[in-house]
Amino acid sequence: MAESVVGAHADEAPDQDRRDFIHIAAMAAAVGGVAAVAWPLIDQMNPSADTLALSSIEYDVDKVPLGQQVVLLYRKQPLFVRHRTPQEIAEAVAGDHADLRDPATDASRVKPGKAEWLVLIGVCTHLGCTPGFDGGNLAPGHYGGWLCPCHGSVYDTSGRIRRGPAPLNLAVPDYVFETDTKIKVG
């Protein structure tokens, strides 16, 4: 056996397992460290506390005349409060049995006994435009509700998607009737 200096095992193969362990441990520490630093840098872009704190709103629905709607600003988004006519309600109920893309009955979209009040988030579920009221248009391809100007999604008098690219019905926000005519949204 050749003479060797202490610590210099020139003729010995390096212990591969120990080297692998060191490589893997170092890589794991580096990846973990990078991830730990990256997360705050990424997460800071989420809505800040003051944005999240946007509170609920109250509204006296009595102010909306029959057959009209108001558009309120709720969490920086348009909120439709529509006072539906008996004809609109009838059409909406009739639509319960149609072939719906996002099935929901009209009754499930209003509060019990308050079918004349339809409260919707006015954000098209396609790409976020605000649909305009279609003026009760019932021509073929129209359902008397809303029409989105952006890519032509058509919603019925219950705010359900009937035609066009949007996948879902207009969302009904969380709200309660605090009194007979006052709603609290959010």
Partner 1 sequence: MSGHSTYEPKTAVERWIDTRLPIIRFGVDLMDFPTPKNLNYWWTFGGILAFCLVTQIVTGVILAMHFDPSGTGAFSSLQGIMRNVDYGWLIRYIHTTGASMFFVAVYIHIFRGIYYGSYKAPRELLWLIGAAIYLVMMATAFFGYVLPWGNMSFWGAKVITSIVGAVPVIGPSITTWLVGGFTVDAPTLNRFFSLHYLFPFIIAALVGLHIWALHVPGNSNPLGVDVKSKSDTVPFHPYYTVKDGFAIALFMILFAVFVFYMPNALLDTDNNIPANPLQTPAHIVPEWYLLPYYAILRAIPDKLSGVIALAGAIACIFALPFLDTSRVRSMRYRPQAKLYFFIFVVDCLVLGFCGAHEPNEQVIPGLTTFNLLDSDLNTYVWLSRIAAAYYFVYFLVITPILGLRETPLPVPESISSPVLSHPAAPPAGATASPEKKG
Q: Is 97 designated active site? A: no
124 in contact with ligand FES (CB under 6 A): yes
145 in contact with partner 1 (CB under 8 A): no
168 in contact with ligand FES (CB under 6 A): no
CA distances, 77 to each of 47, 113, 130 (Å):
15, 27, 9
136 in contact with ligand FES (CB under 6 A): no
Site for ligand FES in 14-33 (CB under 6 A): none
Q: Which of 67, 78, 136, 165 binds ligand FES (CB under 6 A)?
A: 165
C-alpha R_g of the chain: 30
The smaller minimum CB distance to partner 1, of residues 69 and 115, is found at 69
Sign of CA dihedral 9, 10, 15, 19: positive
Show the DSSP H helices in the chain as ranges. 16-43, 49-52, 86-94
169 in contact with ligand FES (CB under 6 A): no
158 in contact with ligand FES (CB under 6 A): no
Q: DSSP of 30-67, one letter per residue?
A: HHHHHHHHHHHHHHTTSPPHHHHT---EEEEGGGS-TT
Active site residues: 151
Where on the chain is the footprint of ligand FES (CB under 6 A)?
Answer: 124, 126-129, 148, 150-153, 164-166
Where on the chain is the footprint of partner 1 (CB under 8 A)?
Answer: 42, 45-48, 51, 54, 71, 73, 75-78, 122-123, 125-130, 132, 148-152, 163-167
